[in-house]
Structure 1
Amino acid sequence: MSASSRLSAHEVTMRFGGLVALDSVSIDVPQRSIVGLVGPNGAGKSTLFGVLSGLLTPTSGTVTFDDADVTRASARTRARLGMARTFQHPELFSTLTVRDHIVLADRIRYSRARLWTDLFTGRGLRRPPADETARVDDLIDTLGLGPIAHRAIGDLPLGSCRLVEVARALAVEPTLMLLDEPSSGLDVAETAELAAVLQQVVADRDVSLLFVEHDVELVLRICDSVHVLDFGVKIAAGTPEEIRNDPAVRAAYLGEDVTSQEKAR
């Protein structure tokens, strides 16, 4: 792990019985960077995300977050250290509004003692202090959620719910965000807007992003570096341009021996 790293995984192996889901995988997320994690279905991306976020304990290897060894630390401990994540399937409260979700996340960061009142009586949500209102308004504006801020999550399409998850994660002011398929369910315009938001977040909020995506073009467009997994093994890592031209990556996605074909030309 370099001095400028926010998160580092070193030689991580994950076995489930006789299945090796990850085989000596290393990955590094520098400070103030956007790092992509891609690979075909079954490559081990979700397993690595589970290890990095604390949902899974690796069979071997280490995970370091802001100079602390968190290999065996729980997801809650990592969250308190400044790690936040979203999920492939949004984990939201269907009866709460968009604004309520961001308010609750803000209070986890700034006023944890109020959460009992907020969740079980609703009274706290109706009496926000001015500084909280300013922070929540800022996030709503940043992610373009103003038109739906007072709508219940259960009434919104999947794409909007994903934007709410990103806003909720940002509300706890993390230093690292793990984003699981953040563009899933978004149309082309929404994906472009999300990409711009993520880049602005890194520039303005001193946060690093690591995200799994099936939209490889999105990853190559906005990431500083990209790691590629295939069958639990890291087959490539580098800049977007290096990944775009890597024969092993092209072979993994195209299902053919690109290297051999190029040699035959």
Structure 2
Amino acid sequence: MTALAGTTPPRIEARGVTVRFGGLVALDSVDLAVPPGSVVGLVGPNGAGKSTLFAVLSGLLRPSSGAVLMDGRDVTSVSAQARARRGLARTFQHPELFPGLTVREHVVLAYRLRHARRRVWTDLVTAGGFRRAGAEEDRRVDGILAALRLTPHVHLPVSGLPLGTGRLLEIARALAVDPDVLLLDEPSSGLDSRETDELASTLTGLVAEHGVSLLLVEHDVELVLGMSDVVHVLDFGVKISEGTPSEVRADPAVRAAYLGAEHDEAEKDVDKDEDEERASA
């Protein structure tokens, strides 16, 4: 399957993706597209199917039916490694880092995997160490570290990093391969409110400046609504809503299921208190 002439296909797209685990339907005919230079949000409660969809899009899980496309080309049967070479990168809910490497070495290794694969052999196998390779590598690696506010930690081993800093490092490592599309799995987990705001600003800046597309899965719904151009909402493997943040926020089904349930109960409690106060006046 390819895009129609004269149109720009999505960086990555799910078409009618269904995933079954025995009798359990984890995803049911889900469609989702991430256009070039956009931020797309994916929200839903635990068990909604978000992680399953991420696994399908990144090539870690083959769907029972449906298709995955990158830039209009069917990659449903393409491996995760091959999708990475085509410009896909992702992070995980729990940072996957190497305890023996420093912060900077993580980003250097990722950069060389994309731009100087022969150096990876020298670095890791022949005891050559992470010697500086050139000005362009330094510029790119140092720029990424600065953008994620990791410069003060560059020489620290990752084994002692706080969770939030480790999560920022995983994002930095993903960006070092110069992806066309980046799948972010709970990127704000472990960050405080200031760090979350800084992360949102950094990611939206990367989209604007470098054209990378983002697919963002987050429990912090306000972060998703504040960053995304389009938001998709899953419930028990079924997509129940899709639209702009304002459209999704106003959707009664979404408000009842995810955004408004606790808020509506709080409002009811306030109204009840006010009624009791008026009655006793």
Shorter-normalised TM-score: what interval? over 0.9
Q: Report SS of the residue matched to 1:40.
A: coil
Give the aligned partner of residue 185 of structure 1. 190
With structure 2 as the length reference, what TM-score do the two structures score?
0.88
Rounded Cα–Cα distance in structure 1 between residues aligned with 2:132 and 2:154: 17
The one-character-per-residue Cα deviations of 1:8-46 (angstroms, maximum 9, x if unpaired) are 111110000000000000001111000000001110000
Does the 8 A contact of 1:183 with 1:213 survive in 2? yes
Does the 8 A contact of 1:63 with 1:71 survive in 2? yes
Does the 8 A contact of 2:9 with 2:72 survive in 1? no
Give the aligned partner of residue 227 of structure 2. 222
Residue 66 of structure 1, CA deviation: 0.9
Rounded Cα–Cα distance in structure 1 between residues aligned with 2:30 and 2:208: 28
Rounded Cα–Cα distance in structure 2 between residues aligned with 1:119 and 1:226: 41
Look up the equivalent residue of 2:234 and give its one-letter code: L
Give the aligned partner of residue 275 of structure 2. none
Look up the equivalent residue of 2:222 and give its one-letter code: E
Residue 3 of structure 1, CA deviation: 2.6
How much is the aligned-residue C-alpha RMSD, in angstroms? Answer: 1.4
Identity fraction in percent: 63
User: Residue 250 of structure 1: which of 247, 255, 259 is its match?
Assistant: 255
The one-character-per-residue Cα deviations of 1:179-224 (angstroms, maximum 9, x if unpaired) are 1000000000000010001001101112100011000000000111
Q: Report SS of the residue matched to 1:99.
A: helix
User: Residue 50 of structure 2: which of 38, 45, 53 is its match?
Assistant: 45
User: Residue 118 of structure 2: which of 113, 133, 139 is its match?
Assistant: 113
Residue 122 of structure 1, CA deviation: 4.5
Does the 8 A contact of 1:31 with 1:207 survive in 2? yes
Rounded Cα–Cα distance in structure 2 between residues aligned with 1:255 and 1:75: 38
Q: Report SS of the residue matched to 2:242.
A: strand
Look up the equivalent residue of 1:47 and give its one-letter code: T
Q: Report SS of the residue matched to 1:102.
A: helix
Q: Which has the larger radius of gyration?
A: 2
Gaps of 5+ in 1: 259-265
Does the 8 A contact of 1:27 with 1:227 survive in 2? yes
Residue 126 of structure 1, CA deviation: 2.4
Mapping of residues 17-36 of structure 1, within 5 Å: 17-36=22-41
Does the 8 A contact of 1:13 with 1:21 survive in 2? yes
Aligned length: 257
The one-character-per-residue Cα deviations of 1:67-97 (angstroms, maximum 9, x if unpaired) are 2101111100100100000000101101211
Give the aligned partner of residue 173 of structure 1. 178
Runs of 4+ residues over 4 Å off in structure 1: none
Whether 1:133 and 2:132 are equivalent positions in the alignment is no
Residue 4 of structure 1, CA deviation: 4.1
Gaps of 5+ in 2: 265-281
Look up the equivalent residue of 2:182 and give its one-letter code: M
Whether 1:63 and 2:68 are equivalent positions in the alignment is yes
Whether 1:212 and 2:205 are equivalent positions in the alignment is no
Does the 8 A contact of 2:174 with 2:182 survive in 1? yes
